[in-house]
A and B are shown apart, each in its own frame.
Chain A
Amino acid sequence: MNATSVTVAETIQWDRPVRGRVAMFGLIAAEAAIFSIFVVAYLFYTGKSLTGPMPKDVLSVPIFYTICLLSSSLTIHLAVSALRRKGVRGFAVWWFATIALGTAFVYGTATEWHRLIYHDGLTISTNLFGTTYYSLVGLHGFHVVVGLIALSIVMALTLLGNVRAEHAERVDVLSLYWHFVDAVWVVVFTVVYVIGR
């Protein structure tokens, strides 16, 4: 018996989900599980530090930088919609705005950490608060930086003229990651600056 062929000469309607989208949702699920563990640890250890400084003494709510990050979700959405409508120029502008807003957020975290370390004397090894705070906020910051690198690569490709309307779907997959990073900040913000303070 030779290799049998199971082809049937009929055409049927056959739609399957987009690969990149499914994989990105898989990645987001995995990342969400990682963040959940860090968030649970943060909540569990809230108020269990044996020595100072305590959150209420040193933390101030980063309203401005939070607005920056959250509004970047809007700009990236506008960028992708522009690309869908073949507006590469509009895409480039909104995409750049997203990178700028994300960079502003990272700058905000950097200044906050600088103040905490040099002014308040809080490091990752100072007490339990320091350990959980730098880990959770740092893990989120790390994801923002990774996102910014990915966004910048797309920006560079755009400036070189390699991003066209047919890439809207792929760019949209990347925007899913960025939306996720923003959504995680809502959780981190609530846990660190509202509940934990």
Chain B
Amino acid sequence: MSSDSIALPRAETASRPLVDALHGWVTTVDHKRLGILYILYALIFLVIGGIEAGIMRIQLMHAHNDFVSPQVFNRMFTMHGTTMIFFVAMPLVFGFANYLIPLMIGARDMAFPRLNAFSFWLMAFGGFLLYFSLVGANGLYGAGNAPDVGWFAYAPLTSRTFSVGHSTDFWTLGLLVSGFGSIGTAINILTTILCMRCAGMSLGKMPLLAWLNLVMSGMVILAISPLTAAQVMLLVDRYLGGHFFDTQAGGSAVVWMHFFWIFGHPEVYVLAIPAFAFASEIIPVFSRKAIFGYPVMVAATICIGFIGMSVWAHHMFTVGMSSSANTFFVLSTMAIAVPTGIKIFNWLATMWGGKIEFKTPMLFCVAFLFQFLVAGLTGIMLGAAPFDWQLSNSYFVVAHFHYVIVGGILFTIFGAFYYWFPKMSGKMCNETLGKLHFWLFFIGFHLTFDFMHIPGMLGMPRRIYTYEPGRGWDVWNLIVTIGVFFQALGTVIFVTNLLWSYFKGKAAGSDPWDAWTLEWSTLSPPPVYNFASIPVVKSRRPLWDLKHPNDPDWKYE
């Protein structure tokens, strides 16, 4: 381990004055620094969004609670949803993509470093704009502060009549601005993957993470743009007196629903596909086997990308669409289970017969496998229109999509943190704290979201701010709220672990996991230029080839 060469860059930064260091971070166009900025920014918003969730759960802990007013409750669920999707999940996905893709494909930076910085700051200011509504949205009307129209902001709630003041405008502008940032980053990732690969890395030899992020960026380009268009229409309605969603003048509220969910459903896959990417990198390394069925994984991802664009109206079965539309969206929703199932089998087959090491990243990925499966099963239940008519807009739906986003996506993101933290910081994460984080979060997650299905089936609608006692909902809500405290504690341990390991952790060396992709061939943390000389690869696992010159992968691929 050459700890000298790792310690050197940090010694330099420490000796510089703080202002200089901050100036360096603000003006940076380096993909690694921007990736870390994205991730830190997302972590801050994760805490904020988590506090909002905690406030809601305390309010719903028992019947007739009055911890917050109904108005505040509405703001909390709106801000929680918007924050978690646009300012936590998206920046986490982009942060890891930014950091890892150039390293994994053997490039020195993204294709457009300045566009990269511009996109990050657009997204950052989108988030600030949303939260500025807390002080700025009162305007002269004295009505409302944070947006309170729900994260999908159905018309006519967003019309001037029902949303006085500027809270909805901050919501719209925040999402519009961060949306431009997302499109910029997606174009950058797409171009980087297609044009910056090192010699020998044909498309079929890319790490799966690069492949999956290629599909993800394509989906961002095609899915965020409709949201941008819809937000422009909403602004036209609110500021120029337009009638797009004004039912009094012939406009249609259902059109907003379609436009929102044309974005909203692909967005789930925009977040899930990078989560699959993390699992596809972590599971093989900790099973000590190459990924099972690489070409099928790629094909299944592209399938998910295509089908994922055509399922959006399964969010709208209760609106009253024609039976042919219902049938189409039921069938397309069912169809997407096929490629997703293929992926789950491939991960299982990768683990089958492997020498599995249950380090923290692997623990999170194994939990992801089972939790994502359950989330998919409730997804199939809700994807059947008659079932959805019964349970749409109930806590069953809330439990389902949190199972996807927390149980599936967030768990792999935690896994990714523990897996790549040594590369980003040069220090190992503390394994004991990591396991403690895992178990606390695991228990908390299952207490909260397993039991949340039940009040949903008992008829508890989402977004109600309190409820009558004696409907059989009380005990389940109490359990759900107790789970939140476990999750919060787990998150505190996680942040503690990151900070402690950053300052006190033991040096990681360039390749602590004995892994096979290119990012582990350079120093930890990597130098600004990533690679002293641009690598040349001959297989999907270049470091395996290097470590096993007598038995390289390229002989078999």
Tally of chain B residues near chain A (CB < 8 A): 62
Q: Name the A residues within 8 Å of B194 (CB-CB).
A: 16-17, 22
Contacting residues of chain A (28-76) with chain B, CB-CB under 8 angstroms: 29-31, 33-38, 41, 44-45, 48-51
**Complex contact A8–B538 (CB within 8 A):** yes
Q: Name the A residues within 8 Å of B518 (CB-CB).
A: 6
Q: Complex formed: what's the CA distance from A14 to B205 in Å?
A: 14
Q: Complex formed: what's the CA distance from A128 to B241 in Å?
A: 10
Cβ of B385 under 8 Å from chain A = no
**Complex contact B225–A31 (CB within 8 A):** yes
Cβ of B118 under 8 Å from chain A = no
Q: Name the B residues within 8 Å of A125 (CB-CB).
A: 240-243
A-B contacts, 10 listed (Cβ < 8 Å): A1-B509, A5-B535, A6-B537, A16-B197, A23-B188, A27-B187, A29-B222, A30-B183, A125-B242, A139-B232
- Interface 1/0 per residue, B196-238 and A, CB below 8 Å: 1101100000000000000001100111111011101100110
Taking the nearest CB of chain B, how far is it from the CB of A137, in angstroms?
13
Q: Name the B residues within 8 Å of A12 (CB-CB).
A: 199-200, 536
Q: Complex formed: what's the CA distance from A70 to B224 in Å?
A: 29
Cβ of A7 under 8 Å from chain B = yes
**Complex contact A45–B251 (CB within 8 A):** yes
Q: Which residue of A lies closest to B240 (CB)?
A: A124
Q: Complex formed: what's the CA distance from A7 to B199 in Å?
A: 10
Q: Which residue of B lies closest to A51 (CB)?
A: B249
**Complex contact B509–A29 (CB within 8 A):** no
**Complex contact B242–A135 (CB within 8 A):** yes
Contacting residues of chain B (144-187) with chain A, CB-CB under 8 angstroms: 183, 186-187
Q: Name the A residues within 8 Å of B218 (CB-CB).
A: 29
Cβ of B390 under 8 Å from chain A = no
**Complex contact A19–B197 (CB within 8 A):** no
Cβ of B543 under 8 Å from chain A = yes
Cβ of A195 under 8 Å from chain B = no
- Per DSSP, are chain B's interface residues mostly helix, strand or loop, or mixed? helix
Q: Complex formed: what's the CA distance from A37 to B523 in Å?
A: 47
Cβ of A2 under 8 Å from chain B = yes
**Complex contact B195–A128 (CB within 8 A):** no
**Complex contact B522–A3 (CB within 8 A):** yes
Cβ of B521 under 8 Å from chain A = yes
A6 touches which one: B249, B251, B262, B543 (CB < 8 A)? B543
Q: Which residue of A lies closest to B542 (CB)?
A: A6
Contacting residues of chain A (93-133) with chain B, CB-CB under 8 angstroms: 124-125, 127-128, 131-132
Q: Name the B residues within 8 Å of A139 (CB-CB).
A: 232
Q: Name the B residues within 8 Å of A128 (CB-CB).
A: 243, 249-251
Cβ of B190 under 8 Å from chain A = yes
- Other A-B contacts than A3-B521, A7-B536, A33-B223, 12 sampled, CB-CB below 8 A, are A6-B537, A8-B536, A14-B200, A18-B195, A22-B194, A23-B191, A34-B226, A37-B259, A44-B252, A128-B243, A128-B251, A131-B244
Cβ of B135 under 8 Å from chain A = no
**Complex contact B225–A34 (CB within 8 A):** yes
Q: Which residue of A lies closest to B189 (CB)?
A: A26
Q: Name the A residues within 8 Å of B546 (CB-CB).
A: 4, 6
Cβ of B324 under 8 Å from chain A = no
Taking the nearest CB of chain B, how far is it from the CB of A192, in angstroms?
16
**Complex contact B197–A37 (CB within 8 A):** no
4 closest Cβ contacts across the A-B interface?
A125-B241, A33-B225, A37-B229, A6-B535
- Interface 1/0 per residue, B470-513 and A, CB below 8 Å: 00000000000000000000000000000000000000011100
